[in-house]
Amino acid sequence: MKKLKNEKELLKKAIADGIRYGEARGVVEFEATDSANEKILYIYRLLVHDKVIQPIPEDQVSLKSISHKLAIWASKNK
DSSP for residue 60:
G
Question: Residues 55, 57, 60, 62: is their CA dihedral positive or negative?
Answer: positive
Q: Tell whether the model's pLDDT for residue 1 goes beyond 80.
A: no
Torsions phi, psi of 8, nearest 5? -65, -45
* pLDDT value of position 3: 76
* Angle (CA) 34 77 9, round 5°: 55
| Per-residue model confidence as pLDDT tens digits over 24-56 | 999 989 898 999 999 999 999 999 999 999 999
**pTM (predicted TM-score):** 0.91
Is the separation of the CB atoms in 7 and 68 below 8 Å?
Answer: yes
What is the separation of C-alpha 73 from the centre of its chain, rounded to a whole number of angstroms?
A: 8
What is the separation of C-alpha 30 from the centre of its chain, rounded to a whole number of angstroms?
A: 14
Domains and CATH numbers, the chain: 7-76 (1.20.120.1930)
* pLDDT value of position 63: 95
Mean pLDDT confidence for 8-37: 93
* pLDDT value of position 32: 87
